[in-house]
Amino acid sequence: MTLRCRRCDTPIGLDDFIYIAYYPHTMGANRIEVQYECAQCGHRGTRTLTQAAWDELMLRYLENDERTVDEWLATQQLGPITAEEIREVRRALRHENILESLREWERTRDKPQNME
């Protein structure tokens, strides 16, 4: 799956996203709203994707040439991200494990360190 500008049909890349909203649903019908600005013509558009379409789009972005060095380092991977890894991250986000880890990191980072 690829996103394309509705005006000039240029492929939309990760850097073209200006807003992403995640709308969870209790029955698994999650929706992701993506707003983008086309780098070619400047057109702004909005698309609403299913969770499966979003996952497929992210896999395509991260497995192809669009992965930047920053994205590579942020994922702490030595290869392409798999569908199973995305599912693991989604499960962690649902259970707030990642948020708890970030909060713990912020607490330890803000504490003054004893200099002895």
Model confidence pLDDT, tens digit, residues 64-107: 655 555 555 565 444 556 667 777 777 766 666 666 666 776 77
With both helix axes pointing from N to C terminus, report the angle between 83-94 and 97-110 in degrees, rounded to the nearest 10: 70
Which amino acid, 56? E
The reported pLDDT for the residue numbered 114 is: 53
Dist CA 15 CA 68 (whole Å): 10
- Does CATH place domain 1-76 in 2.60.200.20? no
Q: What is the residue extent of each domain of the chain?
A: 1-76, 81-111
Average pLDDT over residues 30-52: 90
With both helix axes pointing from N to C terminus, report the angle between 51-63 and 83-94 in degrees, rounded to the nearest 10: 130
Which amino acid, 106? E
The reported pLDDT for the residue numbered 45 is: 92
Question: What average pLDDT does the structure give for the chain?
Answer: 75
Average pLDDT over residues 6-28: 85
| More confident site: 114 or 16 | 16
Q: What is the pTM of this model?
A: 0.51
The reported pLDDT for the residue numbered 51 is: 86
